Structure 1
Amino acid sequence: MKNLFSLFAKNQSLIYKVFLFIISTLLIIYLLPKGGQFKYNFQKGKPWQYENLYAPFNFTIKKNEDTIKKEREEIKANAIPYFEYNGEVEAGVLEQFNTMLEARYIDSLYKTPKQAVAKLAGNLIAEVYKNGLTDEIHTYDDNRLIYLKKGNEIEERNYSQLFKKENLNKKVRELVQKNNFEDVQVLLYNILNEVFESNVKLNSKLTEASIEAEIKTLNPNRGIIEKGGRIIAKGEVVEGDKFQILESLRAEFQSQIWSKNNYLWLLVGYSMLVSLVFLMLFLFLKNYRPYIYNNNTKVTFIFFNIFLMVFLTTLVLKVHSDYVYVVPICILPLILKAFFDPRVGLFVHVLTILLLGFIVPNSFEYMFLQFIAGIVTILTVSELYKRANLFISVGQITLIYILGYFAFFVIQEGNIQTLEWENFGYFILCGLATLFAHPLIYFYEKIFGLVSDVSLLELSDTNSKLLKELSNKAPGTFHHSLNVANLAEASANEIGANSMLVRVGALYHDIGKMLNPTMFTENQANSINSHNELDPKESAQIIIEHVIKGIEIARKNNLPDRIIDFIRTHHGTSLVYYFYKKEREQQGSANKEDFIYPGPIPFSKETAILMMADSVEAASKSLKDPSSSIIDEFVEKIINNQMAQGQFLNANITFKEIEMIKKVLKKKLNNIYHLRVEYPE
């Protein structure tokens, strides 16, 4: 049991990775569509690349979406509307008219008798309400058939048979002229206009129900293909009916062939493919990015982002497949590049697109566009802390999407007449969503403890609390750190390393000297050296401890691990040679272990650059009357000595890059110590 526990403790990092591998695979499989994959890949407008295809079974030809949509529109356009008839309104209108006529009719003003006016109005009201009066405005033609619902009975009418209140003036004028009652025309119109009330209204609910019922009866099929019938010949262009028949065969294949009996085999196939994708990711990290592979937090971060992209795409596809390009997939390589490097960003992006190929429709078109957009993201996004760069890159990504989609559409359709321009809006929305990268990076930094260029820019501010404290307590060390930062940044730019990271690392690499600043020569204001009163071994320990104390101060101030790495490695496992030599002179011998920094040695280009720049800058203070040749020889000696000690064995830095760094350091030191003209006093 004890051995088992010991084995578990020893391999807990590997066990965690296996667990992460299994969980990620299961989650991705859960999100993948649970249907078989049609074994033929085809695209509209392209030749059929396989042998002649014959129907493996009987199946129906499905109507395409456009045809079904058109038929639905025709049903809606030709649907017979239902109108509700209220028979109780007529009696109330007639009674109200007689009451108002009695009040307004004056015998001395009109020749037409009141009884004649009442009779005429009664006939008019009866005629109007026979088929119904409506005050609603509709776009129906006069000959449009309508259903008039009177209680439980339905009567057919033409829309023109309904009386429109807007025609009242014309109707009154015709009646009074026919009966020579012109003197009461205004009176009759005014009263009728006031008392007329609509008794026919459109029954929207019943009309919509009838339309829905008719739509449900639509046949989604338009024919049958018999088993053995030839569907398409080799080299034939996939378009029109051929394309729709192939789509129907694919749909039938997925619904008919794949059942519960072979569902297990489907899961086995998915498991193998998804596992291969994640296995490739692990192998890539192990062989080419061991610093990521050995950090479980960083590995978890990468897997989380892959799952997030697959989950968001699946979620959007459930709403509507047209919205698939709204998902900002390019945010994945952008974020990974911000935290790691472009190669990691592109590799993970490619693997994620391969997984999404199982989910999205028109997978070839989708994958092609996303591959190109991902490459553009990697090539264009640089110095993310500069806000303008992100906007420019997002604009370029959106343009690539639009151009790529337009090209595919032209290839498939052969024209632009049917181009749906609103689809370009999805790409613009995708670009806007990609701008969410900045707040997402901040969120990831807090959750996973990572550091991006944006955070590095904040840390490089010399007015920050920690650097202010360093400048106050150890001004000489602070000045030394600024000089080292300038040298290291220039060197990093020369070989293509992360210049922002190495600059920030240089600013903080000696913060451990704050606790005992006068023990370091750059902070001694006078010629008194505190080490003269100490044993060489004690002096060496004080010097060595500034690394350990620097790590403690960094952790207390929540500096990222990537910055702490510079503090740990800037002296590597080098020897405090001055005090080691002094000990040997005084005692005759010395234990080397007492005078060696604890390490580790640098394990990246950036940490190696800092070691070189720090050693050269610190030692350059001892140069007397430096000349160009002296400086060149001096730089060569220090860096060659570090190489001889094996300080750069773990850093992925080449001899060529070291030579380039030497040239930069020589040039910079020559500029610093250039000879001045002596001016007369």
Structure 2
Amino acid sequence: MPRTAKFNYDYKKGSPWPYETLISQFDFPILKTEEQIQEEREQAGGLIVPYYRFSNEVTTSVIKNVQGLDLGKYNRIRPAVVTRLSDIYARGVISDAPVRVQHGSAKISEDIICIQKDKRAATYPRSEVYKVSDAKDQLVSVLASAYPSVNLDSLFRRSGVYNGIIPNLVYDAAMTNLAHVESDDYISPTLGYVKADEKIVSNGEIVTAEIAQVLDSYKEEYNKVFGYGGPRVLLYLGNGLIALVLVVLLYFCILFAKPSIFETGQRYFYLLFLFLLSTVVTCMAERFAPSILFLIP
């Protein structure tokens, strides 16, 4: 009879697994619970990753500006200043001013930022880029060992080097809001994967919350792989047609093997009753006690 596959295992968290060791028949994803998805959605909604665009134009402008500055008697250190400043701008410089958001209680991430460079966006640790004030300090720090006799801080203030250091990572509020909305809307429904032939649970092992989650996921995938996904009415119609065909076959078997049975209708109806009784018992056994299914004659 056409039928849907049935995951014939009953289990409860905190109880031992009463069946044989269960081995996965196929690869399947471990699905997150509704509580886990809701928790991740709340966490994603409470933290916003700021989005910046890397500006090559600003970087080029800053370097050209420094190359044209008059450092007086210290013009000899200009090439070193340009080199170090280029290294700083290659990593990125952001504004000292805090970023403002419009998402209620949501906060801007202080650990991660997103940078779009050459049409590609990627996340980076906030520590990998400089604020404007950090860039100034870094410039003085890396040059101080090479020029210990020069008051670099005073020189850079007087010559305008500091004034020329501006952010080349431009904050994009629209993309920040869009990326936040998309990340809030999409939460991955899976935790990981179990491969075929991997052990899921052993006989007698306590079914913990983690094991129950894997079993629930396996059951879900099992029903998709072996189950019937079409309209239920077609399934019932198929069952009815096959049952009708079997009854007709029984009729012709009797007709050609022993037609005398039809001389008294009671004999034929008795056979139909046995046929129906066997079908009902089989269906009940399949539903409530599959282990005794093969004991039914």
**TM-score (norm: length of structure 1):** 0.20
* Structure with the higher strand share, 1 or 2: 2
* Structure with the higher helix share, 1 or 2: 1
Give 1 or 2 for the bigger CA radius of gyration. 1
